[in-house]
A and B are shown apart, each in its own frame.
Chain A
Protein backbone atom coordinates (compact mmCIF):
# COMPACT_ATOMS: atom_id res chain seq x y z
CA UNK A 1 0.00 0.00 0.00
CA UNK A 2 1.65 3.20 -1.13
CA UNK A 3 -1.30 5.49 -0.36
CA UNK A 4 -1.77 7.33 2.92
CA UNK A 5 -4.61 9.65 3.84
CA UNK A 6 -3.25 12.59 5.79
CA UNK A 7 -5.61 13.91 8.47
CA UNK A 8 -6.93 17.46 8.04
CA UNK A 9 -4.54 20.04 9.42
CA UNK A 10 -3.68 23.75 9.34
CA UNK A 11 -3.93 25.61 6.05
CA UNK A 12 -0.15 25.80 5.66
CA UNK A 13 0.13 22.03 5.35
CA UNK A 14 0.31 20.93 1.69
CA UNK A 15 -2.51 18.74 0.44
CA UNK A 16 -2.01 16.30 -2.39
CA UNK A 17 -4.32 15.11 -5.12
CA UNK A 18 -4.42 12.32 -7.65
CA UNK A 19 -2.48 12.76 -10.88
CA UNK A 20 -4.71 13.24 -13.93
CA UNK A 21 -3.53 13.49 -17.53
CA UNK A 22 -3.89 17.04 -18.87
CA UNK A 23 -3.68 18.64 -22.31
CA UNK A 24 -0.19 19.68 -23.18
CA UNK A 25 2.54 19.52 -25.74
CA UNK A 26 4.86 17.75 -23.34
CA UNK A 27 4.78 16.26 -19.87
CA UNK A 28 7.39 16.21 -17.13
CA UNK A 29 6.96 13.55 -14.43
CA UNK A 30 9.17 13.53 -11.38
CA UNK A 31 8.84 10.65 -8.93
CA UNK A 32 10.69 8.88 -6.17
CA UNK A 33 10.25 5.45 -4.55
CA UNK A 34 6.57 4.33 -4.51
CA UNK A 35 5.68 7.36 -6.66
CA UNK A 36 6.33 4.95 -9.54
CA UNK A 37 2.94 3.39 -8.82
CA UNK A 38 1.18 6.70 -9.50
CA UNK A 39 3.01 6.89 -12.82
CA UNK A 40 1.77 3.41 -13.75
CA UNK A 41 -1.78 4.53 -13.04
CA UNK A 42 -1.55 7.71 -15.10
CA UNK A 43 0.03 5.76 -17.97
CA UNK A 44 -2.80 3.23 -17.83
CA UNK A 45 -5.47 5.93 -17.87
CA UNK A 46 -4.00 7.64 -20.94
CA UNK A 47 -1.77 5.53 -23.16
CA UNK A 48 -0.91 8.38 -25.55
CA UNK A 49 0.66 10.55 -22.87
CA UNK A 50 3.89 8.56 -22.44
CA UNK A 51 5.13 9.31 -25.97
CA UNK A 52 5.31 12.98 -24.91
CA UNK A 53 6.61 12.39 -21.38
CA UNK A 54 9.97 12.86 -19.73
CA UNK A 55 10.31 10.92 -16.48
CA UNK A 56 12.88 11.63 -13.79
CA UNK A 57 12.85 8.83 -11.23
CA UNK A 58 14.74 8.22 -7.99
CA UNK A 59 14.27 4.72 -6.48
CA UNK A 60 15.46 5.66 -2.95
CA UNK A 61 15.02 2.51 -0.81
CA UNK A 62 12.91 0.66 -3.38
CA UNK A 63 15.99 -0.44 -5.32
CA UNK A 64 15.19 -2.22 -8.55
CA UNK A 65 11.53 -3.02 -7.72
CA UNK A 66 9.95 -0.57 -10.15
CA UNK A 67 12.66 -0.09 -12.79
CA UNK A 68 11.64 -2.77 -15.30
CA UNK A 69 8.03 -1.70 -15.26
CA UNK A 70 9.01 1.96 -15.67
CA UNK A 71 11.08 1.06 -18.72
CA UNK A 72 8.07 -0.69 -20.21
CA UNK A 73 6.06 2.56 -20.11
CA UNK A 74 8.06 3.65 -23.17
CA UNK A 75 8.29 7.27 -22.09
CA UNK A 76 9.93 9.63 -24.57
CA UNK A 77 12.72 9.95 -22.02
CA UNK A 78 13.38 8.05 -18.79
CA UNK A 79 16.14 9.10 -16.42
CA UNK A 80 16.86 7.07 -13.32
CA UNK A 81 19.08 8.92 -10.92
CA UNK A 82 20.81 8.16 -7.63
CA UNK A 83 19.01 10.99 -5.78
CA UNK A 84 16.93 14.08 -6.38
CA UNK A 85 19.75 16.29 -5.09
CA UNK A 86 22.14 14.86 -7.68
CA UNK A 87 19.73 15.62 -10.53
CA UNK A 88 18.87 19.24 -9.80
CA UNK A 89 21.19 20.58 -12.51
CA UNK A 90 19.60 18.19 -15.00
CA UNK A 91 16.11 19.32 -13.99
CA UNK A 92 17.09 22.98 -14.35
CA UNK A 93 18.36 22.27 -17.85
CA UNK A 94 15.10 20.55 -18.78
CA UNK A 95 13.09 23.53 -17.50
CA UNK A 96 15.30 26.03 -19.34
CA UNK A 97 14.36 24.42 -22.66
CA UNK A 98 10.69 23.94 -21.78
CA UNK A 99 7.77 25.95 -23.16
CA UNK A 100 4.45 27.08 -21.72
CA UNK A 101 2.07 24.16 -22.07
CA UNK A 102 4.44 21.76 -20.30
CA UNK A 103 2.43 19.76 -17.76
CA UNK A 104 4.18 18.81 -14.54
CA UNK A 105 3.35 15.79 -12.36
CA UNK A 106 5.12 15.24 -9.02
CA UNK A 107 4.67 12.08 -7.00
CA UNK A 108 6.31 10.18 -4.17
CA UNK A 109 7.54 11.54 -0.86
CA UNK A 110 6.72 14.98 0.44
CA UNK A 111 10.40 15.88 0.32
CA UNK A 112 10.65 15.13 -3.40
CA UNK A 113 7.37 16.87 -4.23
CA UNK A 114 8.30 19.98 -2.26
CA UNK A 115 11.81 20.35 -3.61
CA UNK A 116 10.87 19.71 -7.23
CA UNK A 117 8.05 22.23 -6.87
CA UNK A 118 10.55 24.85 -5.69
CA UNK A 119 12.52 24.48 -8.94
CA UNK A 120 9.46 24.43 -11.15
CA UNK A 121 7.91 27.51 -9.56
CA UNK A 122 11.24 29.29 -9.97
CA UNK A 123 11.11 28.36 -13.65
CA UNK A 124 7.77 30.14 -13.95
CA UNK A 125 4.91 27.67 -13.48
CA UNK A 126 2.48 28.82 -10.75
CA UNK A 127 2.37 26.30 -7.89
CA UNK A 128 -1.38 25.90 -8.28
CA UNK A 129 -0.84 24.62 -11.86
CA UNK A 130 1.44 21.77 -10.72
CA UNK A 131 -0.17 18.39 -10.00
CA UNK A 132 1.00 16.36 -7.02
CA UNK A 133 0.23 12.96 -5.53
CA UNK A 134 1.74 11.63 -2.34
CA UNK A 135 2.92 7.99 -2.35
CA UNK A 136 5.00 5.95 0.04
CA UNK A 137 6.81 7.14 3.14
CA UNK A 138 5.33 9.85 5.36
CA UNK A 139 8.85 10.90 6.39
CA UNK A 140 9.35 14.66 6.34
CA UNK A 141 11.97 17.15 5.30
CA UNK A 142 12.30 19.41 8.37
CA UNK A 143 13.91 22.77 8.82
CA UNK A 144 15.21 23.68 12.28
CA UNK A 145 13.83 27.16 12.94
CA UNK A 146 16.79 27.85 15.23
CA UNK A 147 19.86 26.93 13.20
CA UNK A 148 18.03 26.74 9.81
CA UNK A 149 19.61 23.37 9.06
CA UNK A 150 17.58 20.83 7.10
CA UNK A 151 17.10 17.27 8.40
CA UNK A 152 15.78 14.81 5.81
CA UNK A 153 13.58 11.74 6.31
CA UNK A 154 12.30 12.62 9.75
CA UNK A 155 9.96 9.87 10.97
CA UNK A 156 9.58 10.64 14.68
CA UNK A 157 8.30 13.51 16.78
CA UNK A 158 10.29 14.96 18.45
CA UNK A 159 13.55 14.40 16.59
CA UNK A 160 17.12 15.60 16.94
CA UNK A 161 18.26 18.35 14.56
CA UNK A 162 21.10 16.84 12.55
CA UNK A 163 22.87 20.23 12.55
CA UNK A 164 22.59 21.81 16.02
CA UNK A 165 21.43 18.84 18.09
CA UNK A 166 18.33 20.50 19.57
CA UNK A 167 15.29 18.29 20.16
CA UNK A 168 12.64 19.57 17.76
CA UNK A 169 8.87 19.29 17.76
CA UNK A 170 7.49 18.39 14.28
CA UNK A 171 5.03 21.04 13.15
CA UNK A 172 2.56 20.97 10.23
CA UNK A 173 3.66 24.53 9.50
CA UNK A 174 5.18 24.28 6.04
CA UNK A 175 7.40 26.62 4.04
CA UNK A 176 7.06 26.44 0.27
CA UNK A 177 10.14 28.63 -0.05
CA UNK A 178 12.27 26.11 1.84
CA UNK A 179 10.23 23.04 0.81
CA UNK A 180 10.32 21.98 4.47
CA UNK A 181 8.20 21.66 7.57
CA UNK A 182 9.24 23.72 10.58
CA UNK A 183 10.84 22.08 13.61
CA UNK A 184 10.75 23.99 16.92
CA UNK A 185 12.71 23.31 20.10
CA UNK A 186 10.55 21.04 22.26
CA UNK A 187 12.19 21.73 25.63
CA UNK A 188 12.82 25.46 25.47
CA UNK A 189 10.76 26.22 28.60
CA UNK A 190 11.91 23.20 30.62
CA UNK A 191 15.37 22.22 29.35
CA UNK A 192 15.76 18.45 29.44
CA UNK A 193 12.00 17.78 29.57
CA UNK A 194 11.84 15.87 26.28
CA UNK A 195 8.86 13.66 25.47
CA UNK A 196 9.56 10.17 24.15
CA UNK A 197 9.77 10.18 20.34
CA UNK A 198 6.63 8.82 18.68
CA UNK A 199 6.51 7.64 15.08
CA UNK A 200 4.64 10.12 12.82
CA UNK A 201 0.98 9.22 12.25
CA UNK A 202 1.31 6.11 14.44
Chain B
Protein backbone atom coordinates (compact mmCIF):
# COMPACT_ATOMS: atom_id res chain seq x y z
CA UNK B 1 0.00 0.00 0.00
CA UNK B 2 1.33 3.39 -0.87
CA UNK B 3 0.75 6.62 1.03
CA UNK B 4 -2.64 8.22 0.52
CA UNK B 5 -4.30 4.96 -0.33
CA UNK B 6 -5.95 4.52 3.05
CA UNK B 7 -9.58 3.91 2.32
CA UNK B 8 -12.82 5.17 3.83
CA UNK B 9 -16.14 3.36 3.48
CA UNK B 10 -18.81 5.93 2.70
CA UNK B 11 -22.49 6.14 1.81
CA UNK B 12 -23.89 8.44 -0.85
CA UNK B 13 -26.37 10.62 1.06
CA UNK B 14 -27.32 13.15 -1.59
CA UNK B 15 -27.08 13.63 -5.34
CA UNK B 16 -27.91 17.03 -6.85
CA UNK B 17 -28.11 17.86 -10.52
CA UNK B 18 -26.17 21.13 -10.67
CA UNK B 19 -26.82 21.60 -14.37
CA UNK B 20 -27.11 19.52 -17.53
CA UNK B 21 -23.44 18.46 -17.31
CA UNK B 22 -22.60 18.35 -13.62
CA UNK B 23 -23.86 16.30 -10.68
CA UNK B 24 -22.86 16.81 -7.08
CA UNK B 25 -22.40 13.82 -4.74
CA UNK B 26 -22.35 13.88 -0.97
CA UNK B 27 -20.46 11.19 0.92
CA UNK B 28 -20.83 10.43 4.64
CA UNK B 29 -18.94 7.80 6.58
CA UNK B 30 -20.88 4.52 6.51
CA UNK B 31 -22.11 3.82 10.02
CA UNK B 32 -21.49 7.43 11.11
CA UNK B 33 -18.46 9.19 12.53
CA UNK B 34 -16.18 11.98 11.44
CA UNK B 35 -14.26 12.18 8.19
CA UNK B 36 -10.70 13.55 8.30
CA UNK B 37 -10.23 17.30 8.04
CA UNK B 38 -8.47 18.21 4.79
CA UNK B 39 -6.98 21.32 3.21
CA UNK B 40 -8.49 23.25 0.33
CA UNK B 41 -7.41 21.83 -3.01
CA UNK B 42 -7.33 18.21 -1.86
CA UNK B 43 -8.84 15.40 -3.89
CA UNK B 44 -10.18 11.96 -3.10
CA UNK B 45 -9.93 8.90 -5.31
CA UNK B 46 -13.39 7.35 -5.76
CA UNK B 47 -13.60 3.61 -6.38
CA UNK B 48 -16.24 2.59 -8.87
CA UNK B 49 -17.17 -1.06 -9.24
CA UNK B 50 -18.32 -1.00 -12.84
CA UNK B 51 -19.08 -4.64 -13.70
CA UNK B 52 -15.70 -6.38 -14.08
CA UNK B 53 -13.73 -3.12 -14.07
CA UNK B 54 -12.70 -1.22 -10.97
CA UNK B 55 -12.35 2.44 -11.85
CA UNK B 56 -10.39 4.78 -9.60
CA UNK B 57 -10.98 8.42 -10.47
CA UNK B 58 -9.70 11.45 -8.54
CA UNK B 59 -12.12 14.29 -7.78
CA UNK B 60 -11.43 17.54 -5.94
CA UNK B 61 -13.32 17.82 -2.68
CA UNK B 62 -15.38 21.00 -2.84
CA UNK B 63 -16.96 21.09 0.61
CA UNK B 64 -15.70 23.08 3.60
CA UNK B 65 -12.34 21.55 4.67
CA UNK B 66 -13.38 21.86 8.33
CA UNK B 67 -16.69 20.04 7.80
CA UNK B 68 -16.04 16.50 9.02
CA UNK B 69 -19.63 15.41 8.54
CA UNK B 70 -19.48 14.95 4.76
CA UNK B 71 -17.39 15.41 1.63
CA UNK B 72 -18.94 16.65 -1.58
CA UNK B 73 -17.57 16.33 -5.10
CA UNK B 74 -18.86 17.55 -8.45
CA UNK B 75 -18.60 15.31 -11.47
CA UNK B 76 -18.78 16.66 -14.99
CA UNK B 77 -20.22 14.15 -17.43
CA UNK B 78 -17.76 13.27 -20.18
CA UNK B 79 -19.64 11.37 -22.87
CA UNK B 80 -16.40 10.60 -24.71
CA UNK B 81 -14.37 9.62 -21.65
CA UNK B 82 -13.50 6.11 -20.51
CA UNK B 83 -16.69 5.82 -18.50
CA UNK B 84 -15.93 6.94 -14.92
CA UNK B 85 -18.06 10.06 -15.06
CA UNK B 86 -20.84 8.21 -16.89
CA UNK B 87 -20.80 5.60 -14.14
CA UNK B 88 -21.14 8.31 -11.49
CA UNK B 89 -23.95 10.00 -13.42
CA UNK B 90 -25.96 6.93 -14.38
CA UNK B 91 -25.21 4.14 -11.90
CA UNK B 92 -24.73 5.79 -8.52
CA UNK B 93 -27.84 6.24 -6.36
CA UNK B 94 -28.51 7.79 -2.96
CA UNK B 95 -27.91 5.11 -0.33
CA UNK B 96 -25.15 3.34 -2.31
CA UNK B 97 -22.07 2.33 -0.38
CA UNK B 98 -18.76 3.29 -1.96
CA UNK B 99 -15.08 3.44 -1.07
CA UNK B 100 -13.03 6.61 -1.31
CA UNK B 101 -9.41 7.38 -0.44
CA UNK B 102 -8.17 9.66 2.31
CA UNK B 103 -7.83 13.21 0.96
CA UNK B 104 -4.53 14.01 -0.76
CA UNK B 105 -3.55 17.56 -1.62
CA UNK B 106 -1.41 18.31 -4.65
CA UNK B 107 -2.87 21.80 -5.08
CA UNK B 108 -2.49 23.33 -1.64
CA UNK B 109 -2.69 27.02 -0.87
CA UNK B 110 0.60 28.67 0.03
CA UNK B 111 -0.53 30.43 3.17
CA UNK B 112 2.50 32.71 3.12
CA UNK B 113 0.82 34.53 0.23
CA UNK B 114 -0.56 37.98 0.95
CA UNK B 115 -3.18 37.59 -1.74
CA UNK B 116 -4.55 34.51 -3.51
CA UNK B 117 -5.42 35.10 -7.15
CA UNK B 118 -7.47 32.22 -8.55
CA UNK B 119 -8.08 31.51 -12.20
CA UNK B 120 -10.62 28.79 -12.98
CA UNK B 121 -11.95 27.33 -16.21
CA UNK B 122 -15.13 25.21 -16.28
CA UNK B 123 -15.22 22.30 -13.82
CA UNK B 124 -11.76 23.46 -12.64
CA UNK B 125 -13.75 25.56 -10.16
CA UNK B 126 -14.14 22.65 -7.68
CA UNK B 127 -10.84 22.83 -5.73
CA UNK B 128 -11.29 26.58 -5.43
CA UNK B 129 -14.68 26.13 -3.72
CA UNK B 130 -12.97 24.37 -0.79
CA UNK B 131 -10.03 26.79 -0.83
CA UNK B 132 -12.37 29.79 -0.74
CA UNK B 133 -14.12 28.37 2.32
CA UNK B 134 -10.74 27.85 4.00
CA UNK B 135 -9.53 31.36 3.11
CA UNK B 136 -12.80 32.94 4.24
CA UNK B 137 -12.48 31.22 7.63
CA UNK B 138 -8.91 32.47 7.95
CA UNK B 139 -9.93 35.91 6.67
CA UNK B 140 -7.34 35.81 3.93
CA UNK B 141 -7.57 37.85 0.78
CA UNK B 142 -8.61 36.17 -2.48
CA UNK B 143 -9.86 37.11 -5.90
CA UNK B 144 -11.49 34.61 -8.28
CA UNK B 145 -11.58 34.88 -12.07
CA UNK B 146 -13.83 32.16 -13.42
CA UNK B 147 -14.35 31.47 -17.10
CA UNK B 148 -17.33 29.36 -18.25
CA UNK B 149 -19.29 28.92 -21.46
CA UNK B 150 -22.52 30.46 -20.23
CA UNK B 151 -24.67 30.77 -17.15
CA UNK B 152 -26.59 27.54 -17.85
CA UNK B 153 -23.50 25.30 -17.57
CA UNK B 154 -21.54 27.59 -15.25
CA UNK B 155 -21.39 25.48 -12.12
CA UNK B 156 -21.72 27.46 -8.87
CA UNK B 157 -21.63 30.83 -10.63
CA UNK B 158 -24.74 32.04 -8.82
CA UNK B 159 -23.54 30.89 -5.38
CA UNK B 160 -20.13 32.50 -5.85
CA UNK B 161 -21.48 35.81 -7.11
CA UNK B 162 -24.00 36.05 -4.28
CA UNK B 163 -21.68 34.94 -1.42
CA UNK B 164 -18.52 36.69 -2.62
CA UNK B 165 -19.71 39.47 -4.95
CA UNK B 166 -16.59 41.57 -4.46
CA UNK B 167 -14.12 38.73 -4.98
CA UNK B 168 -15.75 36.95 -7.92
CA UNK B 169 -15.37 37.82 -11.58
CA UNK B 170 -17.25 35.69 -14.13
CA UNK B 171 -16.44 35.49 -17.85
CA UNK B 172 -18.96 33.93 -20.29
CA UNK B 173 -17.06 32.76 -23.36
CA UNK B 174 -20.31 32.34 -25.37
CA UNK B 175 -20.76 36.11 -24.97
CA UNK B 176 -17.20 36.73 -26.14
CA UNK B 177 -15.94 37.56 -22.63
CA UNK B 178 -12.43 36.51 -21.70
CA UNK B 179 -9.91 37.22 -18.97
CA UNK B 180 -7.65 40.14 -19.85
CA UNK B 181 -4.71 38.26 -18.42
CA UNK B 182 -1.86 40.72 -18.86
CA UNK B 183 -3.98 43.46 -17.39
CA UNK B 184 -4.92 41.18 -14.50
CA UNK B 185 -1.36 40.06 -13.73
CA UNK B 186 0.12 43.53 -14.12
CA UNK B 187 0.10 45.47 -10.88
CA UNK B 188 -0.68 42.63 -8.45
CA UNK B 189 0.79 43.47 -5.06
CA UNK B 190 4.03 41.80 -4.01
CA UNK B 191 3.24 38.53 -2.23
CA UNK B 192 0.39 37.57 -4.59
CA UNK B 193 0.27 33.89 -5.56
CA UNK B 194 -1.66 32.75 -8.61
CA UNK B 195 -3.55 29.42 -8.79
CA UNK B 196 -4.86 27.91 -12.01
CA UNK B 197 -7.24 24.99 -12.47
CA UNK B 198 -8.88 24.32 -15.78
CA UNK B 199 -8.14 23.01 -19.25
CA UNK B 200 -4.51 22.41 -20.24
CA UNK B 201 -4.49 25.37 -22.65
CA UNK B 202 -5.58 27.71 -19.91
CA UNK B 203 -2.88 26.49 -17.53
CA UNK B 204 -0.19 26.89 -20.19
CA UNK B 205 -1.47 30.34 -21.14
CA UNK B 206 -1.48 31.66 -17.58
CA UNK B 207 1.81 29.99 -16.62
CA UNK B 208 3.68 31.29 -19.64
CA UNK B 209 2.22 34.79 -19.45
CA UNK B 210 3.02 35.08 -15.75
CA UNK B 211 6.56 33.79 -16.26
CA UNK B 212 7.21 36.23 -19.11
CA UNK B 213 6.09 39.05 -16.82
CA UNK B 214 8.67 38.05 -14.21
CA UNK B 215 6.45 36.09 -11.82
CA UNK B 216 8.65 33.63 -9.88
CA UNK B 217 7.86 29.94 -10.49
CA UNK B 218 7.32 29.55 -6.76
CA UNK B 219 4.18 31.73 -6.80
CA UNK B 220 2.47 30.01 -9.74
CA UNK B 221 0.39 26.96 -8.73
CA UNK B 222 -1.71 24.80 -10.99
CA UNK B 223 -3.58 21.55 -11.10
CA UNK B 224 -4.65 19.57 -14.07
CA UNK B 225 -5.83 16.00 -13.75
CA UNK B 226 -5.18 14.08 -16.88
CA UNK B 227 -7.58 11.26 -17.48
CA UNK B 228 -5.72 8.25 -18.85
CA UNK B 229 -6.33 8.07 -22.57
CA UNK B 230 -7.12 4.97 -24.52
CA UNK B 231 -4.61 3.56 -26.97
CA UNK B 232 -3.37 0.40 -28.62
CA UNK B 233 -3.18 -2.62 -26.31
CA UNK B 234 0.35 -3.63 -25.29
CA UNK B 235 2.18 -6.29 -23.30
CA UNK B 236 4.48 -5.66 -20.35
CA UNK B 237 6.78 -7.91 -18.36
CA UNK B 238 6.90 -6.94 -14.69
CA UNK B 239 10.25 -8.30 -13.59
CA UNK B 240 9.96 -8.07 -9.77
CA UNK B 241 6.53 -9.69 -9.78
CA UNK B 242 7.55 -12.07 -12.55
CA UNK B 243 4.30 -11.49 -14.41
CA UNK B 244 3.46 -10.68 -17.99
CA UNK B 245 0.38 -8.49 -18.26
CA UNK B 246 -1.75 -7.18 -21.11
CA UNK B 247 -2.79 -3.51 -21.04
CA UNK B 248 -6.17 -3.17 -22.74
CA UNK B 249 -7.25 -0.49 -25.15
CA UNK B 250 -9.29 1.40 -22.55
CA UNK B 251 -7.12 0.50 -19.56
CA UNK B 252 -4.14 2.35 -18.15
CA UNK B 253 -0.87 0.57 -17.39
CA UNK B 254 -1.44 1.26 -13.69
CA UNK B 255 -4.93 -0.26 -13.87
CA UNK B 256 -3.57 -3.31 -15.66
CA UNK B 257 -0.96 -3.81 -12.91
CA UNK B 258 -3.66 -3.52 -10.26
CA UNK B 259 -5.86 -5.98 -12.12
CA UNK B 260 -2.94 -8.43 -11.96
CA UNK B 261 -2.70 -7.92 -8.17
CA UNK B 262 0.61 -6.08 -8.41
CA UNK B 263 0.92 -3.51 -5.61
CA UNK B 264 1.90 -0.43 -7.60
CA UNK B 265 2.19 2.93 -5.82
CA UNK B 266 -0.03 5.84 -6.85
CA UNK B 267 -1.55 9.04 -5.51
CA UNK B 268 -3.16 11.27 -8.12
CA UNK B 269 -3.68 8.85 -11.00
CA UNK B 270 -3.44 11.88 -13.24
CA UNK B 271 0.22 12.28 -14.18
CA UNK B 272 0.89 15.05 -11.69
CA UNK B 273 2.24 13.75 -8.40
CA UNK B 274 5.14 11.48 -9.35
CA UNK B 275 4.22 8.71 -6.95
CA UNK B 276 3.86 5.98 -9.59
CA UNK B 277 7.21 6.68 -11.33
CA UNK B 278 8.52 3.34 -12.53
CA UNK B 279 11.94 2.27 -13.81
CA UNK B 280 12.18 0.75 -17.25
CA UNK B 281 14.56 -2.22 -17.41
CA UNK B 282 14.46 -2.58 -21.17
CA UNK B 283 12.29 -1.54 -24.04
CA UNK B 284 11.99 -1.90 -27.77
CA UNK B 285 9.53 0.62 -29.12
CA UNK B 286 7.98 4.03 -28.50
CA UNK B 287 6.89 5.53 -25.20
CA UNK B 288 3.80 7.73 -25.23
CA UNK B 289 4.48 9.99 -22.25
CA UNK B 290 1.42 11.97 -21.16
CA UNK B 291 2.38 13.00 -17.63
CA UNK B 292 3.46 16.35 -16.18
CA UNK B 293 6.12 14.73 -14.05
CA UNK B 294 9.10 13.53 -16.10
CA UNK B 295 11.35 16.15 -17.63
CA UNK B 296 12.50 16.05 -21.24
CA UNK B 297 15.79 14.43 -20.33
CA UNK B 298 14.13 11.62 -18.36
CA UNK B 299 11.75 11.03 -21.27
CA UNK B 300 14.59 10.89 -23.74
CA UNK B 301 16.52 8.43 -21.57
CA UNK B 302 13.75 5.83 -21.95
CA UNK B 303 14.42 4.74 -18.36
CA UNK B 304 11.22 6.01 -16.69
CA UNK B 305 7.48 5.78 -17.23
CA UNK B 306 4.44 7.06 -15.32
CA UNK B 307 1.99 4.16 -15.58
CA UNK B 308 -1.07 6.17 -14.51
CA UNK B 309 -1.37 8.03 -17.84
CA UNK B 310 1.47 6.99 -20.14
CA UNK B 311 1.49 4.15 -22.66
CA UNK B 312 3.84 2.19 -24.87
CA UNK B 313 3.78 0.98 -28.45
CA UNK B 314 6.30 -1.52 -29.75
CA UNK B 315 7.87 -4.90 -29.41
CA UNK B 316 8.68 -5.33 -25.74
CA UNK B 317 8.66 -3.49 -22.45
CA UNK B 318 10.17 -4.72 -19.17
CA UNK B 319 9.46 -2.76 -15.98
CA UNK B 320 11.10 -2.88 -12.56
CA UNK B 321 7.89 -3.62 -10.66
Q: Point out residues on A near B: beta carbons under 8 Å.
A: 22-25, 95, 98-103, 123-126, 128-129
Contacts and interface: CB of A to CB of B under 8 A. Distances in A.
A128 B215 CA distance: 12
A120 B188 CA distance: 16
A27 to B, nearest CB: 9
A23 B188 CA distance: 16
Contacts of B192: 100, 124
B218 A126 contact: yes
B215 to A, nearest CB: 6
Contacts of B114: 124
Contacts of B191: 100, 123-125
29 contacts: A24-B213, A24-B214, A25-B186, A25-B213, A95-B190, A99-B188, A99-B189, A99-B190, A100-B185, A100-B188, A100-B191, A100-B192, A100-B214, A100-B215, A100-B219, A101-B185, A101-B186, A102-B190, A103-B214, A124-B113, A124-B114, A124-B189, A124-B192, A125-B190, A126-B112, A126-B216, A128-B216, A129-B216, A129-B219
Interface in B184-221: 185-192, 211-219
B218 A129 contact: yes
A106 to B, nearest CB: 15
A110 B180 CA distance: 42
Contact of A124 (B185, B190, B214): B190
Interface string B107-120: 00000111000000
Nearest to B211: A23
Instruction: Report the 5 A-B pairs with minimum CB-CB distance, sorted nearest first.
Output: A124-B191, A24-B214, A129-B216, A101-B214, A126-B218
A125 B216 contact: yes
Given A98-B189, A101-B185, 17 more contacts: A23-B214, A24-B213, A25-B213, A98-B190, A99-B190, A100-B185, A100-B188, A100-B190, A100-B192, A100-B213, A101-B186, A103-B214, A123-B190, A124-B113, A124-B114, A126-B219, A128-B218
A102 B214 contact: yes
Contacts of B188: 99-100
B188 to A, nearest CB: 5
Contacts of B213: 23-25, 100-101
Contacts of A123: 190-191
Contacts of A24: 213-214
Most buried by A among B113, B211, B218: B218
Most buried by B among A22, A99, A100, A124: A100
Interface in B280-316: none
A124 B215 contact: no
Contacts of B113: 124
A103 B213 CA distance: 10
B63 to A, nearest CB: 30
Given A99-B189, A124-B114, A23 B212 contact: yes
Contacts of A102: 190, 214
Contacts of A98: 189-190
Contacts of A23: 211-214
